[in-house]
Structure formats: C-alpha cells, structure tokens
C-alpha cells in the first residue's frame, strides 16, 4: 500500500457511518475486491494518528456480537482532510498514468 493511502481510505470508509477497526478493515478489503488487505499492525496506529490529528473521534460501544469495541467517527476536520487527500490522489493518479502509459 502506498504511504498515506491507508489514512485516506479510513477517512473515506467513515463517511457513511461510524465503525470499529475490524469493520473498517473489512469494508476496505471488500470494496477493493480483496486486493487490499489491512493489517491490524497498520490499522490501529493509523486510527490513533488520525485521532491525534483531530480527523476522527472515538467512543466505546457494542459491536455486532455485543462485545465492547472502540468506534471511530469522522469529524468535520476529517471531512476537509479527505477532500484535500482525494484531490492530491487524483493528481498523483493522473501523473503516474502519464508516465506509465507511454
């Protein structure tokens, strides 16, 4: 996974609804048609980093199987950051396409 893309994908996943870590990972994997695998060793440090930056907030709740789980919610600052990161991603995707498709 390219550096910085996990943060963008987490933010995008939280646009629709709050979610706990396991669900975030599964949504990314499912949406990518199982091409991307999100490791816990990458996911949770990313979630903590996003929370430290104020882009997500967290709270404790019950998961689908009634286990205590930490849920994450996209903040207004996180929505703004997602717009910036998505714009940068589109620019990079276009630039890489220009170089690769010769």
pLDDT for 12-47, tens place per residue?
A: 999 999 999 999 999 999 999 999 999 989 999 999
pLDDT of residue 81: 97
What is the secondary structure of 36-50 as a DSSP string? ----HHHHHHHHHHH
Report the pLDDT value the prediction gives residue 29, as an integer from 0 to 100.
Answer: 95
With a pLDDT cut of 90, the percent of the chain lying above it is 80
Total of domains in the chain: 1
Structural domain range at position 28: 5-100
The DSSP-derived string for 10-76 is HHHHTTTS-EEHHHHHHHHHHHTTT-----HHHHHHHHHHHHHTTSEEEEEEE-TTS-EEEEEEE-H
Judged by DSSP in three states, 89 sits in helix
Q: Read off the CATH number of the domain in which 71 is found.
A: 1.10.10.10
């Amino acid at each position: 996974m390219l550096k910085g893309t996990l943060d963008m994908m987490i933010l995008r996943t939280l646009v629709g609804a709050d979610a706990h870590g396991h669900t975030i990972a599964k949504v990314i994997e499912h949406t990518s048609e199982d091409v991307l695998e999100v490791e816990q060793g990458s996911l949770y440090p990313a979630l903590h980093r996003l929370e430290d930056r104020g882009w997500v907030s967290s709270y404790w709740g019950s998961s689908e199987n009634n286990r205590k789980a930490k849920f994450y919610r996209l903040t207004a600052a996180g929505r703004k950051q997602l717009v910036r990161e998505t714009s940068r991603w589109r620019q990079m995707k276009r630039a890489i396409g220009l170089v690769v498709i010769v």
